[in-house]
Amino acid sequence: MQPFLEVINHIFTPLIKLGSGVVMLAVMTGLAMAFGVKFTKALEGGIKLAIALTGIGAIIGILTGAFSESLQAFVKNTGISLNIIDVGWAPLATITWGSPYTLYFLLIMLIVNILMIVMNKTDTLDVDIFDIWHLSITGLLIMWYATKNHLPLLLSVLIATLAVVLVGVLKIINSDLMKPTFDDLLATGPNSPMTSTHMNYMMNPIIMVLDKIFDKVFPGLDQYDFDAAKLNKKIGFWGSKFFIGMILGFVIGIMGDPHFKILSVKHWFELGFTAGACLELFSLIGSWFIAAVEPLSQGITNFANAKMGGRRFNIGLDWPFIAGRAEIWACANILAPIMLVEALLLSKVGNGILPLAGIIAMGVTPALLVVTRGRLIRMILFGSLLLPLFLLSGTMIAPFATELAKKVGAFPKGAPAESLITHSTLEGPMEKIFGYVIGRATTGQISALMTLVIFLGIYLGLFAWYAKEMKKRNEAYKLAKD
C-alpha cells in the first residue's frame, strides 16, 4: 500500500500544491480537449473557471475578514471565551491535502465515477477534483480512530475506503437529482450541463425534512417571503443585493460596538459598503461559471451525438456556479450573528468553537437554496436550526484536525501549541459524524457497533426518501415544460 501511495503522491502532488485554480484550469482544459474541443477554446474555459474560483475565494476572504473584526470586538466586549480556533476552510484543505491518502481517495473516486457512467448509474462527470478533500476528511478521521484502536493499516484503509466510496456514490447520485433544480434556479434550461458534486449538498436530505415540516406547520407563510430577487422587481433598490448587503453590514458592525460613536458609525458604513459590494460581485462572478463550461458543454454534446446516441452528460462543478443567486448571501449574512449567538449558548453543552473564519456559513446556504428554491424565510429558519450541527461536528473533529495539522507541518503559525483548530462551518457535518461513528466502532464494542448500524440505517434511509422526493420534483419540472 505505501509504495502505491508514494507513486500517486509523486505524480499528483506537484499539481495539487499549485492550488485549486490551477488544478481546475488543467482539469477543465484537458477534459474539454478530450471531448474534441480546440485547444484555444478549451484553454479559454479553463482560465475562466480558474478566475471564477479565485474571485469567489477572494470575496469570501474579504467578507470573512471584515466581519471577523466586529465579531472579535463583540467577544472582547462580552468577555466570552471559546478555546477552539476557527481557521476556516483553506487551512483545512491544505492540511487534508498534506496526507497522501487524499490522493488515494481521489484515484478511487475517479474510478468509481467512470464505472458509474459506464454502467448508466449516473450522467455526471465529477470534475471538482480539488474538493475531494471534503470527502477525504471522513476517510482520514476513520483511519485516525482505527489507528488509535490498533487496527492493522490495511484493514483501516479498507474500512475508510468503503465509507468514502459510499458517501462519494451518494454525492454523484445527488448531482443528477439536483440538475433540474439548478436549471430552474439559473434559468438556463435543460441544455446546460452544470450541476454539483460538492459535499455542501449532502445536507439536502435533512433540509428537505425541515421543508416538509414547514409545509405542514406554516402553509401560508411563504406569501410573506422577502427573497432579494422578488423584492428587487417589486420595490426597486430596497430589495437589491447592495442595499441588503449594506443593512446586514450595519447589523454586524453594531454587534461589534453598540455605542453610537462617530468612529463606530464610520466603521458601520465601511462594513455595509463592503458587504453590498461583495453581494454584487458574487452575482457577477457567478455568471463566469456559465461561460467557463460552454466549450466543454459543446464538446460533450458533439461527442454524445456522435458516439453515445445523443446521451447527455452533466458536469459536476464546485458549488459557486450558483453564487449569483442573492438569496445565498442574504441568508449567509443573516445567519452570521445567529451562529455567533448559538455558539455562545452551546458552549455549555459541547461547543468549543468561536465562529470567526467560518462565520459566512457557506457550508449550508447553497444547500438551503437548492431545497427551498430560494424562499428566504425557510432558508434562514432552517439554517438557524442546522448551524448547531456544524458547530458540534466541528468541535468533534478538532483533536483529529489538530493532530493531522501538526503531522503535515500545517499548524497555524502564532497559535499556542496547546490550541485545537477546526472549521466552524465545514461542509458535510453528517459525514463527519459518520466517520466518527465508524471510528468508534473500530473498538469492537457492541454498543459502538449498534450505534453504527442505527446511524447507517437512518443515513441511507433518509437519502433514499430524499431521492424519491427529488424525483417527484423533477417529474413536475418535466410536466411543466411539456
pLDDT in tens, 183-219: 999 888 888 888 999 999 999 999 999 999 999 998 8
Give 68-89 pLDDT, tens digit per residue.
Answer: 666 666 666 656 667 787 877 7
| Average pLDDT of span 305-320 | 77
Contact indicator for 204, 370 with CB cutoff of 8 Å: yes
pLDDT at 174: 97
The answer to whether residue 103 is domain-embedded is yes
Please name the amino acid found at residue 451. Answer: T
pLDDT at 25: 82
In this structure, of 99-113, 200-214, 293-307, the range with the lowest mean pLDDT score is 293-307
Of 228-232, 381-385, 443-447, 461-465, the poorest mean pLDDT is in 228-232
| pLDDT at residue number 239 | 47
Check: CB of residue 395 under 8 Å from CB of residue 401: no
- Asked whether residue 202 is domain-assigned, the answer is yes
β-partners of residue 422 are 86
SS3 per residue for the chain: CHHHHHHHHHHHHHHHCCCHHHHHHHHHHHHHHHCCCCHHHHHHHHHHHHHHHHHHHHHHHHHHHHHHHHHHHHHHHHCCCCCEEECCHHHHHHHHHCCHHHHHHHHHHHHHHHHHHHCCCCCEEECCHHHHHHHHHHHHHHHHHHHHCCCCHHHHHHHHHHHHHHHHHHHHHHHHHHHHHHHHHHCCCCCCCEEECCHHHHHHHHHHHHHHHHHHHCCCHHHHCCCHHHHHHHHHHHHCHHHHHHHHHHHHHHHHCCCCCHHHHHHHHHHHHHHHHHHHHHHHHHHHHHHHHHHHHHHHHHHHHHHCCCCCCEEEECHHHHCCCHHHHHHHHHHHHHHHHHHHHHHHCCCCECCCCCCCCCCCHHHHHHHHCCCHHHHHHHHHHHHHHHHHHHHHHHHHHHHHHHHCCCCCCCCCCCCEEECCCCCCHHHHHHHHHHHHHCCCCHHHHHHHHHHHHHHHHHHHHHHHHHHHHHHHHHHHHC
Q: Which of 166-175, 352-361, 368-377 has the highest mean pLDDT?
A: 166-175
Confidence (pLDDT) at 429: 95
pTM: 0.78
Report whether pLDDT(15) > 90.
no
Three-class SS of 244-297: HHHHHHHHHHHHHCCCCCHHHHHHHHHHHHHHHHHHHHHHHHHHHHHHHHHHHH
Look at residue 320 in the predicted model and tell me its pLDDT: 80
User: Which of 437, 433, 457 lies closest to 447 in space, CA to CA?
Assistant: 437
Selected residue with higher pLDDT from 59 and 86: 86
In a domain, 279, yes or no: no
Question: Average of pLDDT values for 85-114?
Answer: 82
The answer to whether position 470 is within a domain reads yes
pLDDT of residue 190: 82
- Closest Cα to residue 413, out of 16, 87, 17? 87
Amino acid 446: pLDDT: 95
> Percentage of the chain surpassing pLDDT 70?
76
First and final C-alpha spacing in the chain: 53
What pLDDT is stored for residue 418 in this prediction? 77
- Number of residues written out for the chain: 482
Mean pLDDT of 61-67: 68
d(CA 329, CA 187): 19
Within-domain flag for 149 = yes
19, pLDDT greater than 90: no
Q: What is the mean pLDDT of residues 313-320?
A: 85
User: What phi and psi values does residue 317 have, to the nearest 5 degrees?
Assistant: -105, 175
Is 197 among the domain residues?
yes
What is d(CA 441, CA 146) in angstroms, rounded to the nearest whole number? 9
> Does some domain include residue 141?
yes
How many domains does the chain contain in total? 1
Convert the pLDDT of each residue in 456-481 to its tens digit: 999 999 999 999 999 999 999 988 87
pLDDT for res 394: 93
How confident is the prediction for the chain on average, in pLDDT? Answer: 81
- Among 120-134, 227-241, 249-263, 405-419, the range scoring the smallest mean pLDDT is 227-241
- Answer whether residue 354 is part of any domain: yes
Q: For residue 359, what are the domain limits? A: 67-236+315-481
Residue 232's pLDDT band (cuts 50, 70, 90): very low
